[in-house]
Amino acid sequence: MKLPAAILTLLIASAVPVAAQNSFPPPKPGAATMPPAGLIMPPPLVIAPPAPAGAQASLPAQMPFPDLPSVPLDSDRDAQGIAQETARTRGAQGRILWVDATANLERCNSAQDIHDLVVQAKNTGFNVIVVDVKPVIGYTTYPSKIAPKLADWKGARLPGDFDPLAVFVREGHAAGLQVCANLAVFSEGHKYFGKGPGYDDPSLQTVLYEATRSVKAPVPFSPSLTIADIPNALPADPDAVAVYTDAAALKRSLPGALVTITDQTGKIMAQVDGAVLPSVSLYVPSQGAILVAQGKSADSLRATTRIGDYLAFATAPRFVPIAGDSNQKVALFVNPNDPAVQQRELDLVQEVVANYAVDGVVFDDRLRFAGINADFSLVSMQQFEQYVGRPIKWPDDIFHYNAFPNQDIVKGPYYQAWRVWRALTIRNWLAKARAIVKFYRPHATLSVYAGSWYGEYGDLGENWAAVDYAGAFDFNSPDWRQTGFASLLDWITTGCYYPTATISEGAASGSVGATVEAAGQLSNKAVDDQTWVYAGIYLEQFSNKNDNFAKALQAAAASTQGVMIFDVSQVTDSKLWPVLAQAFSKPAQAPHEIAGLIDTVRARHASASAPSSSGAEPAGKAGTGL
């Protein structure tokens, strides 16, 4: 149907804005429409066509190791930071080989063995060797006047008159390599072997705050039943009640046992005879638990409880030296708050730098407390009360354990002060150690190994970040930030110990953060240009996986200023020397070897971070993403 001319005109007018009607007269038929004077049209957005299905996306042209296969990298975030930019511009790259003391005792118990190892490291392309001289057991590999000398380990022997550190320094320097000595400070014993100075002198041991938990039926005069300390395992005491938070761990038949499922309030949701466990499907309610009672405990609960009843849970504090704590593994930690402990560890540092021409000192991941529940000795209580300026209710004003298992601790009013104070203890001890190192060896470096999982260090009392790192962690308050010690270091290596190399791979598997590349990025960001960062790779995760190891090398060196390989025993056992030689085919100097370079980086960072007079974002900061 043909519309009347008047109606057609009305429809056209209503579809065009009034301003447009007034500005643009209708074009003449056949004439080109011209834009108004001064109008500049934006250029069109151009997007390359997506790769055909099944084809690989193009990879970055520049890889840290050009002779290894390329991998897809998160190039923008990998490039953030002035330290990263500076190291790349200078072509500097840390290549650190870690020599663990106990794992390599038979490889390092003669001068010829050490010579051969150093030559291989040099020929492979490493520029730094870290020699472990005081492992967690607390014994030294060099002749010490403070600690016993390590004599043997799992059948391997170290001759009493042989000094591996002296040989490493001599051979390393002859080969043009830096040699740094690692000390596991604040660990003075190995729990699996029950040996070490901390066993010889128990007063050195850190004191842990643990909970003694119990449960009883809602029946008058029913006995309190002890709950085992270690979850998801049957206790040695047959009358203790085991707590399981992982239903999959309960599969085998337990004749005579009573299995009770409770919710977070203690209400009994179900009860099962232990004999039928293999044939039933168990579950753990949210924040609930599965209780497994045997012996007298099973008899008691079977006689006094039924589904729907509420169990009564209780807890009492228990303070125990670490040697008697079954929850703590491997390292026998000592108390970093104890002045005698602090001096012992400083004396060991002094002994090394005064007697050996080392190029640096490294402190591994025992430069911390054993956990949030350490140290709760009388010494620490007195010092902490002095710090906060008043007597406190010990330990509840810091935290107490929830009576019900599988629930978070209950934080007290001084919980954050506790975390800050312990981090301050570690920071101040490190500053003293630095002064000793620089006094005896002005050009020697001070370094730390720490885990890249920074979010866990609030509970461990070790703040290896920069003082201006404002990451979104619950412990990262302004007071906590002031304990950051990155600027006290000449370099840090963080354990980016994940079997997945790149963020791209992690995204495909749904775990972006648990990758070497993401861990390196976090480490680099937390340190914030205050020292050099070298991503650590744990070779046990790449045994017989050369291709995956090559990817991890690319990711580590792309996201930080170098790599640390842990450890030489696994390089040899997993036959990874050829991969490393291929990666390191082009020689490189470690950035920390370049005198004054980190000072330049810090100065540029400070300038870029300084507030401008206009109130605008600091110059240079926008490009760093930090």
Tell me the DSSP string of 418-478: HHHHHHHHHHHHHHHHHHHHHHH-TT-EEEEEEES-GGGTTTTT---S-TT---S-TT--H
Cα(88)–Cα(591) distance, rounded to whole angstroms? 10
Helical H segments across 277-363, by residue range: 295-304, 339-355
pLDDT tens profile 510-561: 999 999 999 999 999 999 999 999 999 999 999 989 999 999 999 999 999 9
Backbone angles phi, psi at 436, to 5 degrees: -65, -45
Instruction: Using a cut of 0.95, tell me whether the model's pTM lies above it.
Output: no
Tokens standing for residue 241: 């009640």
Q: Cα 617 to the chain's mean position, in Å?
A: 31
At position 190, the amino acid (one-letter code) is H
Displacement of CA 558 from its chain's centroid (Å): 19
Task: Supply φ then ψ for residue 490, to 5 degrees.
Answer: -95, -25
Calpha distance 471→443 (Å, rounded): 32
| Sequence-ordered list of residues with C-beta below 8 angstroms from that of 355, at least 6 positions apart, any chain | 142
Identify the pLDDT of residue 533: 98
CA atoms of 465 and 462, how far apart (whole Å): 9
Nearest CA-CA partner of 174 in 94, 124, 119: 119
d(CA 383, CA 391): 11
Kindly write down the DSSP assignment for every residue of 487-508, as one continuous string.
Answer: GG-SEEEEE---S---HHHHHH
- Looking at residue 613, its pLDDT comes to 55
Contact 532, 491 (CB under 8 A): yes
Can you give the pLDDT at residue 586?
Answer: 96
Residues 522, 526, 527: CA angle, nearest 5 degrees: 120
Q: What are phi and psi of 617, to 5 degrees?
A: -60, 140
Residue 312: count other Cβ atoms within 10 Å of its Cβ: 15
Q: Which helix (H) or strand (E) holds 220?
A: none
Assign residue 612 a region: left if phi > 0, alpha if psi is -120 to 50, beta otherwise? beta
Secondary structure in 3-state letters for 232-263: CCCCCCCCCEEEECCHHHCCCCCCCCEEEEEC
**Pure H helices in 574-619:** 577-583, 597-609
- How confident is the model at residue 24, as a pLDDT? 40
Under 8 Å between Cβ of 497 and 539: no
* Ranges of residues in the chain whose predicted pLDDT is under 50: 1-33, 46-47, 51, 54-61, 616-626
d(CA 233, CA 326): 12
> How far is Cα 245 from Cα 284, in angstroms, rounded to an integer?
6
Distance, in Å, from the CA atom of 95 to the CA atom of 139, rounded to the nearest integer, reads 28
What's the pLDDT score for residue 619? 40
**How long a stretch of residues is the chain?**
626
Q: In whole angstroms, give the CA distance from residue 481 to residue 427.
A: 11
User: In the numeric block, which tokens belong to residue 556?
Assistant: 């580590």
